[in-house]
Chain A
Amino acid sequence: MQLFFSLALLVSSLAYTVYGVQTLDLFDSIGRPGPGYFPLIIGLMLLLCTTINAVKSFKERAALLSEENTVSDEAEERYVKDTVVVVALITLFLVTLNVLGSIISMMLFVGLFLSYFNKGKLKFNIIYSLMLPIGVYVLFDILLRAGLPKGILSGII
């Protein structure tokens, strides 16, 4: 997993540098550093550091794999599936935020989250997923006048 993260950083650095070089001028018309000058320096340093980092991660992984007595990746328990579920729920929240409006998408998020992570407490979960969004809405939209998306409720509230 760490190797994957290091590689992702390396690829992003490469994309940043290449895109910067392609779209920005290195120098301005009178030869002073132009808009692309700093991005190139940052990009090159990023490339250098992330490459070293990726090689390091690769070696660590190789060392780990060669030690045959390692039973699992790490000794402690990890909850990869739960983490993915949370990321997916947050993404769903974002997708629905503008379409359904803030109140409904908040209720949807809290409801789905609790039905997965707080199983078997139906009554509590329903109350919680109704009250929290309403409280947040009152606070931000009415008291702080933040202007949250109304979505399909736009005619009603």
Chain B
Amino acid sequence: MGDISTNLMQGLSVALSYYNILFLVIGVSVGMVVGLFPGFGPAAGIAILIPMTFGLEPTTAIILLAGIYYGAMYGGTITSILINTPGESATVASTLDGYPLAQNGRAGPALVMQALASFVGGTIGVILICAFTPALAKFASSFGPSEYFLIVMLGLLLLTTMMGDNLLKGIISALIGFAIATVGVDAISGAQRFTFGSPELIGGIYFVPVAIGLFGIGELLHCIHIGLHKKQGEKLKVSFRSKDFWPDMKDYVESKFTFFRGSIIGFVAGVLPGSGATIGSILAYSVEKKVSSEPEKFGKGEMRGLVAPETANNAASAGAMVPLISLGIPGSGATAVLLGALMMWGLQPGPTLIVNQPDFVWGLIASMYLGNMMLVLISILAIPLFVKFLDVPYRLVVPVIVVLCMVGTYALHSSMIETWLLILTGVLGFGMKSYGYSPAATVLALVLGAMAENTFLQSLIIGDGSMKIFIERPISLVLTIILLSVIFFTILLRVKKMLKNRKLNAAVGASA
């Protein structure tokens, strides 16, 4: 424990200068605003604002960028809750219960709980970083292609728990995501797949336009279809004093363990480079649904269904710092941009960073903690403003959403193909929403699909074409066992349920 406090104190002494705090506040606020725009997730936010940091001290600059990272992550969730449009793959799971909560008139409590969840997740994450960075670095570096394949498969398997009631349609949704993921140059063979000769498709289809189309435009078309634009805005009275603003006692009590489960799951997933925060949020959500006594409430506006992925993705963003600072390996798009920024200031990421630049590393971690605290304050002050947005008559909101989705997507890569993709996936999303498919499964499969294929093929090449590699390596063996037991128990539970239903039906039939 001594280590944690000395490390953190050292960091705080660096971060707690007026100058650095000022930049932290700027970073967090700018990040939050940037994150509100569809398409502008943490990675894009940091990338756009990197030029702002030229001429700053490295420590101040990284504090500014870390603030943007956190702020954007948080801002992206606000849109997930309010308009069902996630800005980042890690917040897709937050739409599942966040949006229904807002629709049930509980936008205020949802946003407050989300801020709280982010804070707890981030804080636990920071404590875990200080305590375990050296050990965790070793853990992360023992993950090769076979281990990654198994962990991604675990994530994909758990996707089924968030597919809603209709399993067939859920599987179709995920398969659509996989199909989209195969577009572009195949990393293993170098062959072009489904690019139709267009250079813009060589790099594949980025998930952000797909997510904005499926969720943002799809939801919008659905709302028009059911006539939301004909209704007058309901006047929600939201202020700090109103009862509807704050979560009620039930919310806190029900989700007290969720906070911890989500944080730990998220952190561990985040330490693994790759899609840490995304897998973490899926894992946390499905675990929460599994341990809940009323899993049928999930997906219909269950507070725990929002708290779990939110604590997880924030703990994961902290976890993602472990491979970044200890191995020089970026764990996500956003940390990859951070890595580039580190090198721009002449810092050499890798195992020596923490030895040569302790001020910098612990300052960064302390700033993450302060950033989290600041976010809770800023967001609670700003929530009434966000919720006001829901008061505006829907027909006036539509142009804002459309314009932001279009311009945001175009601004990503100045690509017209991606912008056209928006309307295509928008219509697809509308159909999926109307007929009970799962856009979340599509987006998550798109993000994880390519990784699953690449790591599988790499494992096969390394293992000389034999699947033995998945049981020969110790960590792989453990993961294989976990994977197989999850499959086994899922089938077992289903069979049990079926038998029970049959018995019930038989009993009803007999009595009738």
Q: Are A140 and B411 in contact (CB under 8 A)?
A: yes
Report yes or no: B229 in contact with A144, Cβ–Cβ below 8 A: no
Q: Are A90 and B227 in contact (CB under 8 A)?
A: no
* 0 or 1 for each of B168-184: is its CB under 8 Å from A? (1 = yes): 11011001101100100
Task: Give chain B residues whose Cβ lies under 8 Å from the Cβ of A56.
Answer: 168
Chain A positions within 8 Å of B434 at CB level? 1-2, 5
A136 and B407 within 8 A (CB): yes
Cβ of A156 to closest chain B Cβ, rounded Å: 19
Measured CB to CB, the closest approach of chain A to B202, in angstroms, equals: 14
Return chain B residues, CB-CB under 8 Å to A113.
398-399, 402
In the complex, are the beta carbons of B403 and A53 less than 8 A apart? no
Q: How far is the CA of A2 from the CA of B430 in the complex (A)?
A: 12
Interface 0/1 of A67-88, CB less than 8 Å to B: 0000000001111101100110
Question: Which of B80-88, B255-263, B361-369, B414-422 faces chain A?
Answer: B414-422
Given the known interface contacts A24-B191, A42-B175, the answer about A78 and B399 at a Cβ–Cβ threshold of 8 Å is: no
The prevalent SS among residues of B at the interface is helix
Bound CA span A31–B395, Å: 58
Quote the shortest CB–CB distance from B12 to chain A (angstroms): 32
Determine if B168 and A39 form an interchain contact, defined as CB atoms under 8 angstroms apart. no
- Establish whether residues A148 and B410, one from each chain, have CB atoms under 8 Å apart when the complex forms: yes
Q: Which residues of chain A have C-beta atoms less than 8 A from B171's C-beta?
A: 45, 49
B398 touches A117 (CB 8 A): yes
Closest B residue by C-beta to A147: B414
B406 lies within 8 A of A25 (CB): no
Contacts of B217 in A (CB 8 A): 90
Q: Are B399 and A132 in contact (CB under 8 A)?
A: yes
Segment from B93-101, B275-283, B457-465 that makes contact with A: B457-465
CB distance from A12 to the nearest CB of B (A): 8
Within 8 A of A (CB), among B127-174: 168-169, 171-172
Whether A86 and B191, one on each chain, are in contact in the complex, defined by CB atoms closer than 8 angstroms, is no
Rounded to whole angstroms, the CA-CA distance of A30 and B178 in the bound complex is: 26
Decide yes or no whether A52 CB sits under 8 A from chain B.
yes
**Chain B positions 402 through 436: 1 when the CB is less than 8 Å from some CB of chain A, otherwise 0:** 11101110110010100110110011001100110
> What is the size, in residues, of chain A's interface with B at 8 Å between Cβ atoms?
66
Q: Residues 30-73 of chain A: 1 if any B CB is under 8 Å from the residue's CB, otherwise 0?
A: 01111110110011011001101100100000000000000000
The answer to whether B224 touches A35, judged by C-beta atoms less than 8 angstroms apart, is no
- Complex Cα distance, B411 from A144, in Å, reads 9
Instruction: Give which listed residue, A38, A87, A132, contacts B423 with CB less than 8 A.
Output: A87
Distance (Å) between the CB of B210 and the closest chain A CB? 15
Whether B423 pairs with A94 at a CB distance below 8 angstroms is: yes
Shortest beta-carbon contacts, A-B, top 3 = A146-B411, A35-B191, A35-B186
Interfacial residues, chain B to chain A (CB-CB below 8 A):
34, 40, 48, 51, 168-169, 171-172, 175-176, 178-179, 182, 186, 188-189, 191, 193-194, 217, 220-221, 224-227, 229-230, 395-396, 398-400, 402-404, 406-408, 410-411, 414, 416, 419-420, 422-423, 426-427, 430-431, 434-435, 453, 457, 460-461, 465
Q: Which A residues lie at the B interface, using CB under 8 A? A: 1-2, 5-6, 8-9, 13, 16, 19-20, 23-25, 28, 31-36, 38-39, 42-43, 45-46, 49-50, 52-53, 56, 76-80, 82-83, 86-87, 90-91, 93-94, 97-98, 102, 106, 109-110, 113-114, 117-118, 128-129, 132-133, 136, 140, 144-149
